Structure 1
Amino acid sequence: MLGETARAAGYRLIVREEVGSTMEEARRALHQGEPGKLWIVARSQNAGRGRHGRQWGSPPGNLYTSLLLTDPCEPALAPQLGFVAGLALHDAAATVLGPAADRLKLKWPNDLLLGGAKTSGLLLEGESRAGRFDVILGCGVNIVSCPSDTPYPVTFLKAEAPQASVEAVLSALGEAWTKRFAVWAQPGGFGPTRAAWLERAAFLGETITIRLPEGPLNGRFAGIDPTGRLQLETDGGSRLIDAGDLFFGTPA
């Protein structure tokens, strides 16, 4: 299911029928000496999770995968890989969707939206061990179904593209990641990565709310800075946000 470009770059694939989570499978492989550039895919998960430990429903038919990268960068640069992965997700979904691709947007920091509804999410975790920094990128894509109990709109790819499948999305994702990562890995590579991400950004220039540990913060989404932090223009001045949950509009 990996394309020619990904295989030529040394990426490999393991497919499991069911796991707790692909993130934990990748971590287990790492601790067993796995050299990296490994995609792990599960047909279903019984303990999938998203950001902040949230449960991620994992019925069969959707894509559940994690990419293990050993020593890809310095720890300070690791958050940038989330933007690389977001672009790869956008590319892959666009390949599968065809004419409906113009309805795709990237929501800071880690979601893919289709028509304003979430269809995919990313999870990035790093681990320092033995003098090395490793990264696991987790990805879930709603292909044939989506949850019904979310506080935000959700959708799935087959609603727009009946031909969408796990195999098609994974193959396109592997190719897109390989190409986007190669651009990012060049000196100054976050510059074109950042520009490409902003071209696809949801809510850019609009009023948003960022949920922070200390409470919600409202302002205009002005972009992302050269390190990937969200730039928020508030009544009290400019703020740079490292992490938080983004919601469209200002709550009543």
Structure 2
Amino acid sequence: MAAARDGDPGRLWFVAGRQLAGRGRQGRVWASPPGNLYSSLLLVDPCALNEAPQLGFVIGLALHDAVTAAMANTSGAGSVTLKWPNDLLVGGAKIAGILLEGRTVGTPGALAVAIGCGVNVTDSPEGTPYPTTHLAAHAPRANRASLFEALSAAMAARLAEWDRGRNFAALRSGWLERAAGLGTEARVRLPGGERHGRFVGLDPHGRLQLETADGLELIDAGDLYFPNLTMQSDVRNDAV
């Protein structure tokens, strides 16, 4: 965001070996052991303000592309899934997370979006309330440099496909094809409490569609959990 305020035109990646002041979603603790990928992409005027949340699905698909490519010809390659709204899973265990931050900068006020993307490459956190894994546990030759190269190329391709939101319907369809827990029982933790139901899809704006006893509910943001989603037995997880 400092680069955006200084007039940078965007499409600029920042990559860190460690993030000493990194921030997790909703103020959660952020750990950054060396060897993992910590990257942020700055986009300036990527779309209209109301379409900016779609970028979470764009980077999610690019991340899926990059990790799947790194795991090509491995037993876990088919177990890479996207969990709404901002996680990537391998065999049901979290391997990566995404965080978007938007601000208006300059005059007359262009939209700047920082897309943060952290991937467990050689290490995964312990003591988390959910299973975690790292890329090297599935693809031993993987490293953060080659993964970043694949991610940056995939993101450029996905941004072109998205076309400033004009082609979001196609990306939404592609995201749902890779979605974790689609059609299964789910619970969503919200500031006002939890909602329970069945995850049935995304609406045209990317909101979660939760089929509950009271009918179909649309949820903009929240923590999604699948009580019956378990890790696949053929995927090794060294951290759990």
CA distance in 1: counterparts of 2:168 and 2:41, whole angstroms: 20
TM superposition score normalised by structure 1:
0.87
Q: Residues of 2 paired with 1:112 and 1:186: CA distance?
A: 23
Q: Which residue of 2 aligns with 1:110?
A: 86
Query: Residue 43 of structure 1 is aligned with which of 17, 36, 39?
Result: 17
Structure 1 match to 2:233: none
Q: Which residue of 2 aligns with 1:70?
A: 44
Map 1:1-252 → 2, pairs under 5 A: 27-99=1-73, 100-129=76-105, 130=107, 131-185=109-163, 188-249=166-227
Structure 1 ranges of 4+ moved more than 6 A: none
- Provide the secondary structure at the position in 1 that maps to 2:22: coil
Decide which moves more: 234-243 or 91-100: 91-100
Residues 168-205 of structure 1: CA deviation (Å, up to 9, x unaligned): 11011011101111010167310110010000000000
Distance, in Å, in 2 between the alignment partners of 1:218 and 1:187 is 30
Q: Is the 8 A contact 1:50 1:122 kept in 2?
A: no
Distance 2:97 2:135 in 1: 13
Alpha-carbon offset, residue 93 of structure 1: 0.1
Aligned length: 224
On the 8 A contact 2:60/2:98 being kept in 1, the answer is: yes
Going from structure 1 to structure 2, the CA distance change for 1:187 and 1:138 (only over 3 Å counts) comes to closer
Superposed CA offset, 1:66-87 (max 9, x none): 0000010111000000000000
Amino acid at match of 1:36: G
CA distance in 2, matches of 1:46, 1:133: 26
User: Over aligned residues, Cα RMSD in angstroms?
Assistant: 1.1
Q: 1:14 maps to what in 2? A: none
Determine the C-alpha separation between the residues in 2 that align with 1:41 and 1:51. Answer: 19
Structure 2 SS opposite 1:164 = coil
Rounded Cα–Cα distance in structure 1 between residues aligned with 2:220 and 2:164: 24
| Aligned-partner residue type, residue 110 of structure 2 | R
User: Matched residue of 1:221: which SS?
Assistant: strand
Q: Distance in 2 between matches of 1:32 and 1:54?
A: 28
* Local SS of the residue matching 1:40: strand
User: 5+ unaligned residues in a row in structure 1: which ranges?
Assistant: 1-26
User: Shift of the alpha carbon at 1:249?
Assistant: 2.1
Q: Measure the CA separation in 2 of the matches of 1:187 and 1:79.
A: 10
Q: 2 CA distance for matches of 1:77 and 1:212?
A: 22
% same residue = 55
Aligned residue type for 1:235: A
Q: Distance in 1 between matches of 2:93 and 2:141?
A: 20
